[in-house]
Each structure stands twice: as structure tokens, then as C-alpha cells.
Amino acid sequence: MRAAYGVETVRTAERELMARLPEGALMQRAAAGLAAVCAGLLGRVYGSRVVLLVGSGDNGGDALYAGARLARRGAGVSAVLLDAGRVHAGGLAALRAAGGRVAGDALGVLARAELVVDGITGIGGRGGLRDAAVPLARAARDSGAVVVAVDLPSGVEADSGEVRGECVRADATVTFGTYKPGLLIDPAREYVGAVRLVELGLDLGTAEADVEALQHADVAALLPVPGAESDKYRRGVVGVVAGSERYPGAAVLAVAGALRGGAGAVRYVGHGADAVIARFPEALVHAGPPSKAGRVQAWVVGPGLGEDADGALEDVLASDVPVLVDADGLRPLAPERVRGRDAPTLLTPHAGEAAALLGVSREEVEAGRLVAVRELAALYGATVLLKGSTTLVAPPGGAGFAVRRPVRVNPTGTPWLATAGSGDVLSGLAGALLAAGLGAMDAGSVAAYLHGLAGRLAAGGQGGDGVLGGAPVGAHDVADAVPGAWRGVVGRWRAAPGTPFGTA
Ligand SMILES: NC(=O)C1=CN([C@@H]2O[C@H](COP(=O)(O)OP(=O)(O)OC[C@H]3O[C@@H](n4cnc5c(N)ncnc54)[C@H](O)[C@@H]3O)[C@@H](O)[C@H]2O)[C@@H](O)CC1
Ligand SMILES: Nc1ncnc2c1ncn2[C@@H]1O[C@H](COP(=O)(O)OP(=O)(O)O)[C@@H](O)[C@H]1O
Ligand SMILES: [K+]
């Protein structure tokens, strides 16, 4: 699990560590790590042209000490000081002693730079860049130089991933001690580039992370694997209430997600039965209502239901099993109805649906995704999965949930997933995991992880985010790629107990 901590937690841990170390030791650790990454990116340090953008705080200090290390290795290092009257004195002295200099013509040196170190603001920055810094950030971007952000790209909000104005766009970010939420969540994540963590030795042992991201090993440990005693009921039966005469395809895609997500059986209820059976003869179809369809271990309700979602929604919410509500099921959803349930509820809105539920604009949700998902989880007392780039999953909040548990951010995915119906596949997938017995947080975040990987696999290409060289996909391609994503996560073929070596 990759954990990210908010600014207050980081500052407390830094203070505790600094009290035990000689003065300045922590900044030297940070600067050494930063210089090493810069040297790696430059390839040849000797003779290279490096420009430091130096703000008035310790972030600028890191940049200056790292610049001094590069200057000692023969780089030509120029520092652009945002405020010559307020600069880290020790850092500036170290740079000068190593042969670095303060630039007179900021835009001139930036135009010739091979590498720019962004030390304008780190965790002390508030709001977008101030006016004086804006032309420098633009010049850095336009120079064609590699831009390395110190701790965070200056101008992003460390705690939330918001970008409230102009901001440095980095090719790489060297962050210190721990990840910060803003490095993992859009829109800020777009500005971060590749992230390298330099360990400082912070003790975050008892602190609660603000945000966490699953990794392959976490997902592999959570994926349900059938054993010798498994039967279709123990693996989990998912009920899917989706599709309508107008949108039968949503039914097919949600059922596809559920089957690929490992459901032992899928009970489908709705107007898309013919389409479902034509594509998936293994599905069990019922005319409804859902409560008469037979026992299920979890319900998925909403994709493509159209206008007449209310009756089926109420029927499903009255059940005593986990319920995932998506799409058209979200529209008529009253917070009290969800808060009154004993079994878990997982809501999966996209930004537009989340905005409608919160009574704000879509833009507001997209600009402040972390705040929005926490607010929804508090309003409904439910687990909420907010779709989009960097999908977030928040644990239930509000009254009765005193402990603030971390929000999960999905690290997989690709913008190629922004295609009609891919959310329906996600619903089915998460529903299957709920039916298999995963809690709502795990079901939502594991489903988002597999769905994102499946999107990348389906799109192909070489880019880490599946965009570079990838190609458009349809939602059914994403569903078909889920087994490949699953195998990729589990990593290796697991022999059934008692299987002789050499047989498969
Ligand atoms: N505290 C520690 O022990 C360590 C801190 N380190 C570095 O110190 C940084 C934090 O340093 P500070 O607390 O001094 O804060 P910063 O250096 O991040 O920023 C504070 C300064 O930036 C200015 N500023 C704030 N918002 C701005 C904006 N929107 N546009 C332009 N300027 C703005 C403020 O006037 C202030 O002078 C970390 O991000 C990290 O880089 C590292 O050296 C590791 C150790
Ligand atoms: N820019 C993006 N980057 C990554 N994933 C995205 C992006 N936009 C949308 N997605 C993903 O694509 C899926 C779209 O779901 P949704 O909006 O519900 O569409 P639909 O209702 O057509 O199925 C979600 O899983 C979402 O996280
Ligand atoms: K910075």
C-alpha cells in the first residue's frame, strides 16, 4: 500500500525527527536525494546548464543545496531568486561556495537551461503561484528543459490535489519523507510527472494516512480465489438490476463486468433480458421485482435503468445484503434511505452525478475531488467511489464515524476508459467482489484497480498510463480484458494443491 500524509502530519513527524538530528541534517538528506535524481536525469552533470527557481522558504533551501552538489560536479548552476531579500541563507552560501551564481537575467538563463529545479514552494505553498512566479513557471515549461519539482510542483495544493491558479508542470517530482495526497490526485497529479520518494527517516507509525493507493500485492491478496469447497453460491451470486428498453446494452455490460469479476452466478432483473441471454447464456434472468428473483449476496442497481429506477431501487435497498448504486439509481437516492441501511452501500457516481447529489457544479467536483468524495460519504454514511481520472473511494463518514479513515486513490487507469458503458462494466465488477465477501472499500478499490488495468491492456501501447501508442477501446473490450488484468495482478499460475509438478 502506498500511503500519502497531509501537511500537518508531515510537519509533526519532521519536527520530531529534526529534534533528534544535528541542525540541517534533514535538509541535507533531501538535497542529496534531489541532486542524485537530477544527476540521473542529466546523464552527464559536468558542463550541464541547470537553473534553480528559488522561493523564500525551505523548499528553495533544498533547491540551493542540491544545486551546490551539482555545481561541485561541474554543472553550471544559476539560481533565480523569487525574493532576493528572503532566501535560505545557508543554501545560497553553499551554492556560491560551490561555484554557482545568482542569475541577473532569469528568462535568459531559463531559455538556455537543460534542467530546471522548481524550488518555489513545497508544503508551505498556498493557492496558485503568485504573480512574480508565473512568468518563471511559464518560461520553464517553454524552455524544453527537464523540469524537476522539489517535494511538489509549486502551485499545487499538497493536501487535496487542487490547482487554484497557475502551477509548475514537472517532468519529475522528488518528494521527501512520504507521498502527499496532491501527488496522487487529479488535477494536481497531471503536473507531477514521474514521482521519486526520497526517504528521510520520518516516523509516521501511528499517524493515519489521508490517502492510500493499492498496489499489485494488495490487490492480489484481496482477490477471491475459488478453493476445493467452492460452489457457485459460496463464490457469490450477484443480482444486477440494470438496462431498460431504451438502454439494453447497459444490462449486458454490467453483467459482463460481474461475470468477469468472478461471480459464481449472476441474476439479472430488468428489461434487457433478451440482450443479456443472447450474449451471456450463463446469466439467470428474472422479470422482477428484484426481491422475488432469488437469493443474492450483493445487488448492483442503476446502470441504464432510465426514468423508472425508483421501484427497483427501493426494493433492492430494502434487502439485507450489500448494494452498489450507480447511474440512474443515484438520481432518486435520498441520504436518509441509505443511512438507514444496516448492510453496506457503495455509491459509484461520476463527477456529474456527484455534483447533482451535492448540489454543486460538475466543475467544482472535478476541481476538488477529495473534498467532494468525503462530503458525499458523510452525507450518505456510505462508501463512495467517485469515478474519473484518479478514481477515489471514500469510507463512510458523518455522524457515527469518528475515525477518519484514508480515502483510496486508484493508480491504474487510462483516459481511454472515458467511453460510454465502461462505468457499467465497473459496477458489475465491483458487485461481484461485494458478493464474494469483500468489504465496500475493498470491493470498490479493487474493482477500480482491475478496471483501470483492463482499460490499459485493451488500449495497448507502451505508455505507463496506457495512452502513448494506445488505441480507442469500447466498454465490452474493457470487460473482456479483465481476466488478463486479473492474471497480471496475481502474477503467476498457482498450482492447485496436490497437482503433480509438470502438469498444467
Ligand atoms: N521541515 C523539514 O524538516 C524539511 C523541509 N523540507 C522542505 O521544506 C519545504 C517546506 O518549507 P517551508 O515551510 O519553508 O515552505 P515552502 O518553502 O514550501 O513555502 C513557503 C514560502 O513560499 C511562499 N509562498 C507561499 N505560497 C506561495 C505561492 N502561492 N506563490 C509563491 N510563493 C508562495 C511563502 O511566502 C513562504 O515564504 C518542504 O516542501 C520541503 O521541500 C526538506 O528540506 C526536508 C526537511
Ligand atoms: N479521464 C479519465 N481518465 C481515466 N479514467 C476515466 C477518465 N474518464 C472516465 N474514466 C473512467 O471511465 C469510466 C466511465 O464511467 P461512467 O462515467 O459511469 O460512464 P458510463 O456511464 O458511460 O459507463 C469510469 O470508470 C471512469 O473512472
Ligand atoms: K516545488
Nearest atom, ligand 2, residue 417 CA: 12
pLDDT at 402 over 80: no
* CB-based contact 394:376 (threshold 8 Å): yes
410 in ligand 2 pocket by Cβ < 6 Å? Answer: no
Tens of pLDDT along 210-261?
Answer: 999 999 999 999 999 888 888 888 889 999 999 999 999 999 999 999 999 9
Query: In the structure, what pLDDT confidence band is assigned to residue 398 with cuts at 50, 70 and 90?
Result: confident
Q: Is 244 annotated as a binding residue?
A: no
Give the Cβ contact number of residue 208 at 10 Å. Answer: 14
- Tell me how far the alpha carbon of residue 173 lies from the centroid of ligand 1, in angstroms: 15
Tens of pLDDT along 370-384?
Answer: 999 999 999 999 999
Tens of pLDDT along 417-455?
Answer: 999 999 999 999 999 999 999 999 999 999 999 999 999
How many angstroms separate the CA atoms of 318 and 196, rounded?
48
Q: Which residue, 103, 105, 50, 97, is CA-closest to 75?
A: 50
Q: Which amino acid is at 355?
A: A
Q: What is the pLDDT of residue 503?
A: 40
132-to-12, 27, 127, 168 alpha-carbon distances in Å: 30, 26, 14, 13
| CB contact set of 45 (below 8 Å; sequence gap of 6+) | 39, 70, 73, 74, 75
Q: What is the pLDDT of residue 259?
A: 98
Indicate the pTM of the whole model.
Answer: 0.95
Q: Is 126 annotated as a binding residue?
A: yes
Q: What is the pLDDT of residue 470?
A: 87
pLDDT at 206 over 90: no
Q: What is the pLDDT of residue 499?
A: 53
Tens of pLDDT along 313-347?
Answer: 999 999 999 999 999 999 989 999 999 999 999 99
Q: Hey, whose CA ends up nearest to atom 25 of ligand 2? A: 423
Give the helix/strand (H/E) hosting 213.
strand 211-213
- Tell me how far the alpha carbon of residue 467 lies from the centroid of ligand 2, in angstroms: 15
Which residues form the pocket of ligand 1, taking CB atoms under 6 Å from any ligand atom? 14, 18, 26-27, 30, 55-60, 62, 120-127, 129-130, 133, 150-151, 176
The mean pLDDT value for 84-94 works out to: 97
Q: Hey, whose CA ends up nearest to atom 14 of ligand 2? A: 423
- Tell me how far the alpha carbon of residue 155 lies from the centroid of ligand 1, in angstroms: 11
pLDDT at 108 over 80: yes
pLDDT at 271 over 90: yes
Q: What is the pLDDT of residue 493?
A: 47
Q: Is 368 annotated as a binding residue?
A: no
Q: Is 151 annotated as a binding residue?
A: yes
Q: What is the pLDDT of residue 309?
A: 85
Q: Which residue, 157, 161, 142, 132, is CA-closest to 53?
A: 132
How many angstroms separate the CA atoms of 406 and 440, rounded?
14
How many angstroms separate the CA atoms of 166 and 137, rounded?
8
Q: Hey, whose CA ends up nearest to atom 5 of ligand 1? A: 58
Which single residue is written with the C-alpha cell 502474477?
491
Burial of 282: CB neighbours in 10 Å, binned 0-12, 13-18, 19+: exposed
How many angstroms separate the CA atoms of 59 and 56, rounded?
8
Ligand nearest to the CA of 170: 3
Q: What is the pLDDT of residue 229?
A: 86
Alpha carbons within 13 angstroms on the beta-carbon side of residue 166 total 14
Q: What is the pLDDT of residue 467?
A: 64
pLDDT at 463 over 70: no
418 in ligand 2 pocket by Cβ < 6 Å? Answer: yes
Q: What domains can be seen in the chain, in order of their start residue?
A: 2-213 (3.40.50.10260), 216-490 (3.40.1190.20)
Query: In the structure, what pLDDT confidence band is assigned to residue 131 with cuts at 50, 70 and 90?
Result: very high
Q: Hey, whose CA ends up nearest to atom 43 of ligand 1? A: 27
Tens of pLDDT along 1-36?
Answer: 999 999 999 999 999 999 999 999 999 999 999 999
Of 67-71, 87-91, 168-172, 459-463, which gets the smallest average pLDDT?
Answer: 459-463
How many angstroms separate the CA atoms of 306 and 244, rounded?
7
Write down the mean pLDDT value for the chain. Answer: 94
Q: What is the pLDDT of residue 492?
A: 54
How many angstroms separate the CA atoms of 51 and 66, rounded?
11
Percent of the chain's residues with pLDDT above 70: 96
- Tell me how far the alpha carbon of residue 155 lies from the centroid of ligand 3, in angstroms: 8
The mean pLDDT value for 161-166 works out to: 95
Query: In the structure, what pLDDT confidence band is assigned to residue 491 with cuts at 50, 70 and 90?
Result: confident
How many angstroms separate the CA atoms of 333 and 301, rounded?
11
Q: Which residue, 36, 39, 27, 17, is CA-closest to 91?
A: 27
Q: What is the ipTM of this complex?
A: 0.94
- Give the three cell numbers for residue 45: 552533470
415 in ligand 2 pocket by Cβ < 6 Å? Answer: yes
Q: Is 154 annotated as a binding residue?
A: yes
- Tell me how far the alpha carbon of residue 500 lies from the centroid of ligand 2, in angstroms: 44
- Give the three cell numbers for residue 413: 487507469
Q: Is 326 annotated as a binding residue?
A: no
- Tell me how far the alpha carbon of residue 269 lies from the centroid of ligand 2, in angstroms: 24
* CB-based contact 339:397 (threshold 8 Å): no
421 in ligand 2 pocket by Cβ < 6 Å? Answer: yes
The mean pLDDT value for 291-318 works out to: 94
pLDDT at 310 over 50: yes
Q: What is the pLDDT of residue 498?
A: 55
Q: Is 60 annotated as a binding residue?
A: yes
Nearest atom, ligand 1, residue 56 CA: 37
Look at the chain and count its residues. 504
* CB-based contact 120:133 (threshold 8 Å): yes
